[in-house]
């Protein structure tokens, strides 16, 4: 669909032009942030490892303003609300895994990235546990924001409790 020769595109689709526009203006700044980019790539890999089959892929984005994460669909994929409609009407058995996008400029994501890049991260079980629980909570948050059900409400409540415990211990 177009309006005055500008095409409309769903914001729930991954790879939107919004990212391309902001990335072009920040190319020179990105040259200075290669280490940050590498740590974000490592974070994406780690998040995919933690979430496994729950997500299609994990990628960084700059299209989010305030939220640390969001769910999106691959190019050519079924819109999230239409997929929910199909499931409710028993035309589809289950939801397809979505793309989990992380806001590379958000404080939470930057902190997670710093924690993963820390020298003793693999050996520090408390830190690793805290990061894993935070990732699971962010995934549940992305589902809630999108109007999707939390995949496992009991696990969600347990993760909140574990994070509270860990924050009180640290």
Tell me the domain boundaries of the chain. Answer: 9-19+37-169
DSSP E strand boundaries for the chain: 2-3, 6-7, 55-61, 69-72, 98-103
Place of tokens 């996008």: 101
Structure-block tokens of residue 89:
């009407």
What is the SS3 assignment for 52? helix
Q: Any idea which fold 9-19+37-169 has?
A: 1.20.120
> Does position 126 have pLDDT exceeding 90, yes or no?
no
How much is the pLDDT for 120? 82
pLDDT in tens, 65-116: 899 999 998 888 888 888 888 888 988 888 888 999 999 999 999 999 999 9
State yes or no: pLDDT of 20 exceeds 60. Answer: no
Answer yes or no: are the C-beta atoms of 87 and 95 closer than 8 Å: yes
Distance CA 96, CA 83 (A): 8
Q: What's 60's DSSP letter?
A: E
* Confidence tier at 1 by pLDDT (50, 70, 90): low
Q: Which residues pair with 59 in a beta bridge?
A: 101
Rounded Cα gap, residues 135 and 156, in angstroms: 11
Distance CA 101, CA 122 (A): 24
| Residue 135 clears pLDDT 90, i.e. is over it | yes
CB 149 within 8 A of CB 143: yes
pTM over 0.85: no
pLDDT tens string 32-74? 567 778 889 999 999 999 999 999 999 998 888 899 999 998 8
Task: State the pLDDT at residue 2.
Answer: 67
Close Cβ partners of 45 (under 8 Å, ≥ 6 residues apart): 58
CA distance 95 to 143: 12
């Amino acid at each position: 669909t177009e309006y005055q020769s500008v095409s409309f595109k769903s914001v729930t689709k991954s790879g939107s032009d919004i990212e391309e526009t902001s990335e072009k203006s920040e190319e020179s700044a990105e040259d200075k942030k290669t280490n940050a980019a590498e740590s974000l790539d490592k974070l994406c890999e780690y998040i995919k490892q933690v979430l496994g089959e729950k997500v299609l892929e994990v990628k960084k984005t700059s299209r989010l303003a305030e939220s640390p994460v969001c769910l999106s669909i691959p190019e050519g994929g079924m819109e999230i609300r239409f997929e929910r409609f199909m499931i409710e009407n028993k035309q589809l058995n289950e939801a397809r895994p979505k793309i989990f996008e992380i806001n590379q400029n958000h404080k939470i994501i930057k902190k997670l990235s710093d924690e993963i890049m820390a020298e003793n991260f693999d050996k520090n079980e408390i830190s690793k546990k805290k990061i894993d629980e935070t990732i699971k909570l962010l995934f549940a948050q992305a589902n809630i924001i999108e109007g999707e059900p939390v995949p496992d409400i009991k696990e969600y409540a347990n993760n909140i409790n574990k994070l509270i415990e860990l924050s009180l211990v640290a």
